[in-house]
Structure 1
Amino acid sequence: MRSRSLLTCGMRSPRLVLTLALLAAIPALATPVPRIEGLGSDLIRQVTARAPAEGIRCDSPRWVVRTWARDLENEIRRALRARSYYGPDLDVTLDRDEDCWHVHIVVEPGEQTVLRGFQLEILGEAQDDPAFETVLENLSPRVGRPFREDGYEALKRGLRRVALERGYFDSRFTIARIDVYPEELAADVTLTFATGVRYRFGDTLIEVDPNMLSDSMLERFRLWAPGTPYTTADIERLRRRLLQAGYFEGVEVSPQLEARSDGIVDVDVTLGLRPRHEISGGVGFVTDFGPRIKSAYENRYLNRRGHQGGVRINLSPVLQEISSDYRMPLRGDDAWLVVDATVNREDTDTAESFTQAIGVRRIRGGPWDTRLTESLNLQREDFDVASDDDVAILLMPGLGLSKTRQTQTRPLEIGWRLDGQIRGAAVPLSSTTFLQLYGRASIAMPLGDRARVLGRLEMGATAAKSLAELPTSVRYFAGGDRSIRGYKLDALGPTDAEGDVRGGRHLAVAGIEFERMVSESWSLAVFADAGGAFNTVSDPYSSGVGLGLRWLSPVGPIRIDLAHPLDDSGTSVRLHIGVGSTFQ
């Protein structure tokens, strides 16, 4: 009766039966875990990742577990070879108890193998190419040091890369041998790299609508003549130059490598033209100028010689401006001759001015990969600032230099920018005489993947007989969204007898900011700005500190700052809203 009762109970409890069956199967479903001694934890993780116990269970047959143990042994030897250990001793033990298999490996790495001999021979035209000397200086293994296979492979990759970059398309290793002598703890490397001939540029075919741009205009973009030695740097330089020209989109510069012959490579250039006419506009708000409206018209193909022109309108309560320009391409690396005219009216809390100007500029590549601008401007400015109310007429020659280097644009802009300018005017061609220098530097340095530090320095100096004769556009002021935050636009500078800001001859402003991302589009910032406009070094300076919010919006970066002026007891905090790139 008791047996029947137990049977009946078991039949009424299928969950109990299933549970007991699963418990009985657990040992069979478990996976053996190897025990490796004599290696660091990083190598052990590498070995077990390369030889995982996939499909191996505690009830697997011995031959299956033995195969896995051999895989572990091979991966250990491979990992040690990468670290110059070519003669390790491995003691592999395979045991089984009532629960599972046990794989125990004891490793004695021994001593490192050193490079005893290194022989490299470069055959072909590359024998006299200095670019290969640079590769050898940086990547050649050193005799007498531990031999690393990864260094050997890096040297081979470096030689292949330089060969392709410099037109040695038929290059190959005819000998690539490593001889290892474990008993002697020595290795010999022998490499022979046959480069063959260096290919030259052949014909360069530029495909574009001839009704829009003439052949003579397109000739200004050519960077090489037939027979010039090939480099991928020239290919990239041509592509970049075409994109920066303002005419093209969808630029494809394609060396015809498959069709190369007799040491010649032809290049096909396919260009998509941007629209002839473009009208753009927008509305926005920044603290310095208030709500503003911008509009622009651009004609990219005024004629087949590539002349361009445009008109821009900028309207806000503080600044109303209309400007136009006529641009003519010149021979050279992205060189232009620009004639422009501007009329603007500016009304800040500090000064009022009405300016009419016409000028000519030549923009071209300068030394050290900079942009050089040579200019001559004729300007008439009616200005009223503090107690100075006058009209200035200036004929100003000038020279500007700029350089921007961006290594990253998203999620945070990383890089730096330098700008410098010198300009002046002299009687009798102008109403006053002055000479002015200006410079600005900005940098953004990464702190990990999601933070950066930004630094900014702005300096200027003016030599002039009389400040009263200098118009507003030539004086220095400080304060505002892109100057010293916590203060209004142009609110800082030397004052007259009545306490009104008059502006100064010189400028020195610095700022530092720490920014950290909190999401893919938002970041937080803390900052400090200091400096001012001044006439003498004894003039006071101002400073401000604050917190900021940054939004990487679909239309560009937007900055919102709350700044506290440390030298203005009448203002506790000031809101600043700005837009634009870090390096504008």
Structure 2
Amino acid sequence: MPVRPFAAEQVEVTVSGVEEALHKNILARLTIYLHRESERLQPNTVKRLHRQAEEDIRSALAPLGYYNPVIKGILSKIKDGWHAEYVVDKGPPVRVEEVAITLAGAGRDNPALLEAIADFPMNKGDILNQEIYENGKKKLVNLAFGEGFLDAALPQRALRVNREKNSAAVHLVLDTGDRYLFGKTTSDQQILRPDLLNRYLPYKEGEPYKPAKLFELQAILYRTDYFSKVAVRGQPERAADHAIPVELDLADPEHRNKYGFGLGYATDTGARGKIDWANRLFNSHGHKANATLQLAERENIISFLYQMPVLKDPRYYKVVGAVSYQDKNWEDTTTKLFTSAVSLEYAAPVYKFGTGLELRDELYDVGDTSGDSTLLVPSLNIGFIAADNILETKNGLQASLGFLGGVDGLVSDVNFLQATLNGKGVITPFDNWRLIGRGSMGATLVDSIDSLPPSLRFYTGGDTSIRGYRYKSIGTKDPSGAVIGGRYMVVGSVELERVVYKEWSVATFWDGGTATDDLSLNFFQGVGAGIRFRLPFGQIRLDVASAVTEDDTPFRVHFTVGGDL
């Protein structure tokens, strides 16, 4: 006959007298609590764990600065097992009376290390917390590594606690050792010319070795889109005279040519089809090429761009050559525009700059008039963008200012100067609420608007300007009533958006503005509401707007897709 095992004892454990952080740490160390539901728990074991409880509680309180607690423990037999109760008086805290940190070695005057010592997370008068102390030590050593002191160590480290006086003293010596430098950067790749590859390096040979620069370089090279694989390896084991060589392992792009095909619809352009071709690496000089063909109801485009990285920082500087042909029609206007341009562009994460020269030839019909315009147009553009996320912006601001013009007799057939200012801001005042504002202003110095082709005149109305109105339906009108555009433009918009469910949101908005041939500000206004659906590349927006300044307040539907800024 098998022997029946003893039934397991059940233990209820309560701890009182301390705040949440201390209570949590006590339960994490209290053995009788951790084994309270063990199937092997017997009466003798319960009593032994109860005797051990006081030491467990002391060991839980000491790291948080309480070395002299008074603990009262009671173990009682109850109907279904045992009840263990511990009343804790944590006692006075141990406070830090002294923090002495000394720098030694080649980094004794390093600004980053001196600042870190000044900001050490434990100060005189603080309650001793050993976790904060340990994290502070690790941060100092890790920072020294990051500054190139790879032999850094704490040869002297002491935390002295006086239990009788409830005081503690911290004494640390950080010996940085010698500083390591960047050595030669090598790669056996045949993808880019070595002189171009070296211009992407965020460091120079002989500069202090910082491991973070290796991660930065890896991100830079991936963003070029030239490589399918990027591995950046510092080799401290091969250091000579404290110079650490760096090795790059780079692989060719899997597909140098990318193709895109798409169908879409926007209320400004109508239904459209689009074909894109992009060559991400045309040659070892890092040149790129791409072409686009778009066929739409009201806007046909064919374009070709050729990009070349230039100057000392090819991450941000490039020369762009472009040719394009555009065939557009709206309202009472048709235009056929051929352009050929070259520009120098600077595009950093925040600031943008561009200057260029463009040859434009445009045939057009506007209302009852026709024209043929040839212009040589120099341009200058500056701007910035600051946002937490470009595609899913919670808070951000974007602005740009552009100038272009032409000189009669210098290829151009008219004298003119044009300036445009654009801006957009997004703020999130409350969770799930966004306030979005945008504005544009433009002005042209020219003798007559009839001297300029439609592509350089100002119009408003449509999906991205004043909703409730047709695309480019607002502007100066000729005697026949045809909209011919204007020399001046002002547009503003305010939108309030509310997330209602996951990727879905609703919005209400006001748009206003005008495009005129004089300085009158007779604003056209549209108000409405819409729904939004968030995708990885931006939002799908469907809006219904009313042109409230028109007599019959007509309604229009607007459909757009894109990022927030």
**TM-score interval for Structure 1 and Structure 2 normalised by the shorter chain:** 0.7 to 0.9
Alpha-carbon displacement from aligned partner over 1:423-446 (angstroms, at most 9, x marks no partner): 121432331312303222343649
Shift in Å, 1:141: 2.8
**2:251 counterpart (272, 287, 300):** 272
What residue is the counterpart of 2:305 in the other structure? 325
Does residue 380 of the first structure (1) align with residue 358 of the second (2)? no
Contact 2:492 2:512 in 1 (8 A): yes
What residue is the counterpart of 1:116 in the other structure? 97
Shift in Å, 1:309: 2.4
Q: Kindly provide the amino acid, as one letter, of the partner of residue 48 in structure 1.
A: L
Alpha-carbon displacement from aligned partner over 1:86-144 (angstroms, at most 9, x marks no partner): 43322222222343322222222333333211101111222222122332344443323
Q: Kindly provide the amino acid, as one letter, of the partner of residue 361 in structure 2.
A: R
Q: Distance in 2 between matches of 1:534 and 1:153?
A: 65
Shift in Å, 1:389: 4.9
**2:490 counterpart (507, 529, 533):** 507
Contact 1:69 1:103 in 2 (8 A): no
Q: Distance in 2 between matches of 1:70 and 1:541?
A: 82
**2:129 counterpart (144, 148, 155):** 148
Shift in Å, 1:479: 3.5
Q: 1:488 to 1:108 in 2, by over 3 A?
A: farther
Q: Distance in 1 between matches of 2:476 and 2:43?
A: 91
Q: Distance in 1 between matches of 2:76 and 2:305?
A: 86
Q: Distance in 2 between matches of 1:559 and 1:162?
A: 45
Q: Name the stretch that deviates more: 438-447 or 279-288.
A: 438-447
Does residue 104 of the first structure (1) align with residue 85 of the second (2)? yes
Q: Kindly provide the amino acid, as one letter, of the partner of residue 150 in structure 2.
A: F
Aligned-partner SS, 1:34: strand
Alpha-carbon displacement from aligned partner over 1:515-563 (angstroms, at most 9, x marks no partner): 42634xx32232324232345463214232313130427xx44513232
Contact 2:50 2:84 in 1 (8 A): no
Q: Kindly provide the amino acid, as one letter, of the partner of residue 260 in structure 2.
A: S
Q: Distance in 2 between matches of 1:272 and 1:402?
A: 35
Does residue 60 of the first structure (1) align with residue 39 of the second (2)? no
What residue is the counterpart of 2:186 in the other structure? 205
Contact 2:384 2:400 in 1 (8 A): no
Contact 1:135 1:155 in 2 (8 A): no
Please tell me the root mean square deviation across aligned C-alpha atoms, in Å.
Answer: 3.3
Unaligned runs of 5+ in 2: 1-5
Does residue 545 of the first structure (1) align with residue 524 of the second (2)? no
What residue is the counterpart of 2:295 in the other structure? 315
Q: 1:408 to 1:257 in 2, by over 3 A?
A: farther
Shift in Å, 1:569: 6.3
What residue is the counterpart of 1:4 in the other structure? none
Alpha-carbon displacement from aligned partner over 1:494-533 (angstroms, at most 9, x marks no partner): 55666654345133323334242634xx322323242323
What residue is the counterpart of 2:158 in the other structure? 177
Q: Distance in 2 between matches of 1:286 and 1:260?
A: 60
Q: Kindly provide the amino acid, as one letter, of the partner of residue 546 in structure 1.
A: A
Contact 1:80 1:109 in 2 (8 A): no
**1:214 counterpart (193, 206, 209):** 193
Alpha-carbon displacement from aligned partner over 1:403-461 (angstroms, at most 9, x marks no partner): 44564589x5556352413212143233131230322234364955xx46252423223
Aligned-partner SS, 2:200: coil
Aligned-partner SS, 1:355: strand
Shift in Å, 1:167: 1.6
What residue is the counterpart of 2:3 in the other structure? none
What residue is the counterpart of 1:188 in the other structure? 169
Shift in Å, 1:361: 1.0
Does residue 40 of the first structure (1) align with residue 22 of the second (2)? no
Shift in Å, 1:320: 0.6
What residue is the counterpart of 1:293 in the other structure? 273
Shift in Å, 1:214: 3.1
Percent identity over the alignment is: 23
Q: 1:403 to 1:257 in 2, by over 3 A?
A: farther
Q: What is the number of equivalent residue pairs in this alignment? A: 546
Shift in Å, 1:179: 1.5
Q: Distance in 2 between matches of 1:500 and 1:75?
A: 87
Q: Kindly provide the amino acid, as one letter, of the partner of residue 272 in structure 2.
A: R
- Map 1:336-415 onto structure 2 (within 5 A): 336-349=318-331, 351-364=333-346, 370-385=351-366, 389-404=370-385, 407=388, 412=392, 414=394
Q: Distance in 2 between matches of 1:382 and 1:121?
A: 77
Q: Distance in 2 between matches of 1:40 and 1:280?
A: 61
What residue is the counterpart of 1:581 in the other structure? 563
**2:210 counterpart (231, 235, 243):** 231
Contact 1:350 1:491 in 2 (8 A): no
Q: Distance in 2 between matches of 1:31 and 1:483?
A: 72
Aligned-partner SS, 2:455: helix
Q: Distance in 2 between matches of 1:487 and 1:32?
A: 75
Contact 2:15 2:88 in 1 (8 A): yes
Q: Kindly provide the amino acid, as one letter, of the partner of residue 286 in structure 2.
A: G
Q: 1:417 to 1:312 in 2, by over 3 A?
A: farther
Q: 1:307 to 1:56 in 2, by over 3 A?
A: closer
Contact 2:466 2:491 in 1 (8 A): no
Alpha-carbon displacement from aligned partner over 1:261-294 (angstroms, at most 9, x marks no partner): 5312111111222233333322222232222111
Alpha-carbon displacement from aligned partner over 1:207-261 (angstroms, at most 9, x marks no partner): 32x2x53334433334433222112343233223322323222222121234445
Q: Kindly provide the amino acid, as one letter, of the partner of residue 305 in structure 2.
A: D
What residue is the counterpart of 2:541 in the other structure? 560
Aligned-partner SS, 1:478: coil
Q: Distance in 2 between matches of 1:508 and 1:72?
A: 74
Does residue 243 of the first structure (1) align with residue 226 of the second (2)? no
Unaligned runs of 5+ in 1: 1-24
Q: Distance in 1 between matches of 2:36 and 2:121?
A: 44
Q: Distance in 2 between matches of 1:561 and 1:31?
A: 63
Length-normalised TM-score, structure 2: 0.85
Shift in Å, 1:62: 4.2
Contact 1:278 1:298 in 2 (8 A): yes
Q: Kindly provide the amino acid, as one letter, of the partner of residue 458 in structure 2.
A: Y
Shift in Å, 1:485: 3.7
Q: Name the stretch that deviates more: 464-473 or 239-248.
A: 464-473
Does residue 282 of the first structure (1) align with residue 265 of the second (2)? no
Q: 1:31 to 1:497 in 2, by over 3 A?
A: farther
